[in-house]
Amino acid sequence: MSRVGKNPVEVPSGVELKIDGNVVSAKGKLGELSFAATDDVTFTLEDGKVIVTPANDSKRARSMWGTARSRVQNLVTGVSEGYTKNLEINGVGYRAAVQGSTLNLQLGYSHDVLFPIPEGITIKCEKPTAVAVSGIDKQKVGQVAAVIRGYRPPEPYKGKGVKYSDEVILRKEGKKK
């Protein structure tokens, strides 16, 4: 039995949820998202809660049960609150700046890394060493943050590079004489 799937998804006030077969659409103050599930799960909306149940007893239905519930929770949270990933840039001369619809990263290469900001994502740089990626789609926000981090991942000796703000870098000791 799925521990995640058996919990209902609370729909907060201000979020309009519509279930059309296996397509769940959520509309809130930040925007609109939809999710098309497989035929292995069924959705019911009662008392402001979405209940996800497996359609049958197959292994696939039981495995999709928790996944579908998490996706619906991500829709509801995304359109009501949104998601944010914070990145930190460590290193001498390493910095970031938003110029129009492009993120300009200076990461120690001979050239600047220009990252076009995708639609539906907003990137802010309060400081030259802090980047905040935000949007309503959790998958998209995480993917954009991972791509930015991938340009210069943190290295274990000095900790230089782009890291998540809550990420802990295990430091190594340098070579000895």
SS3 string, 91-127, reads: CCCCEEEEECCEEEEECCCCCCEEEECCCCEEEECCC
d(CA 91, CA 87): 13
How are strands ordered across the β-sheet holding 9-10?
9-10, 49-54, 41-46
The residue from 80, 102, 134 where one domain ends is 80
pTM equals 0.87
d(CA 61, CA 171): 43
Mean pLDDT score of the chain: 90
Kindly state whether residue 172 falls inside one of the protein's structural domains.
Answer: no
pLDDT at 2 (0 to 100): 64
71-119 pLDDT, tens digit per residue, is 999 999 999 999 999 999 998 999 999 999 999 999 999 999 999 999 9
Find out whether 138 and 74 touch, Cβ atoms under 8 Å. Answer: yes
Kindly state whether residue 38 falls inside one of the protein's structural domains.
Answer: yes
Statement to judge: residues 87 and 70 lie in one domain = no
Kindly state whether residue 132 falls inside one of the protein's structural domains.
Answer: yes
1-49 pLDDT, tens digit per residue, is 667 888 888 888 888 888 888 899 999 899 898 989 888 898 888 888 8
d(CA 165, CA 74): 21
Kindly state whether residue 176 falls inside one of the protein's structural domains.
Answer: no
Full residue range of the structural domain in which residue 147 is found: 83-164
pLDDT at 174 (0 to 100): 86
Mean pLDDT confidence for 140-147 = 94
User: Going by C-beta distance under 8 Å and a sequence separation of 6 or more, which residues neighbour residue 65?
Assistant: 2, 4, 5, 40, 41, 52, 53, 54
Total domains in the chain come to 2
Find out whether 90 and 29 touch, Cβ atoms under 8 Å. Answer: no
The answer on pLDDT for 156 being more than 90 is yes
Statement to judge: residues 96 and 153 lie in one domain = yes
The residue from 45, 62, 80 where one domain ends is 80
Statement to judge: residues 149 and 91 lie in one domain = yes
56-76 pLDDT, tens digit per residue, is 888 898 889 989 999 999 999
Statement to judge: residues 89 and 103 lie in one domain = yes
Statement to judge: residues 115 and 151 lie in one domain = yes
The answer on pLDDT for 129 being more than 70 is yes
pLDDT at 22 (0 to 100): 87
Kindly state whether residue 4 falls inside one of the protein's structural domains.
Answer: no
CATH code of residue 32: 3.90.930.12
How many other CB atoms are there within 10 angstroms of residue 9's CB atom?
A: 24
d(CA 153, CA 159): 9
3-state secondary structure of 42: strand
How are strands ordered across the β-sheet holding 113-116?
95-99, 102-106, 113-116
Mean pLDDT confidence for 130-134 = 94
The residue from 80, 96, 130 where one domain ends is 80
Statement to judge: residues 123 and 63 lie in one domain = no
Statement to judge: residues 32 and 103 lie in one domain = no
Statement to judge: residues 51 and 100 lie in one domain = no
pLDDT at 1 (0 to 100): 62
Kindly state whether residue 124 falls inside one of the protein's structural domains.
Answer: yes
Q: Which stretches within the chain are classed as H helix?
A: 59-80, 138-150
Statement to judge: residues 18 and 54 lie in one domain = yes
Kindly state whether residue 160 falls inside one of the protein's structural domains.
Answer: yes
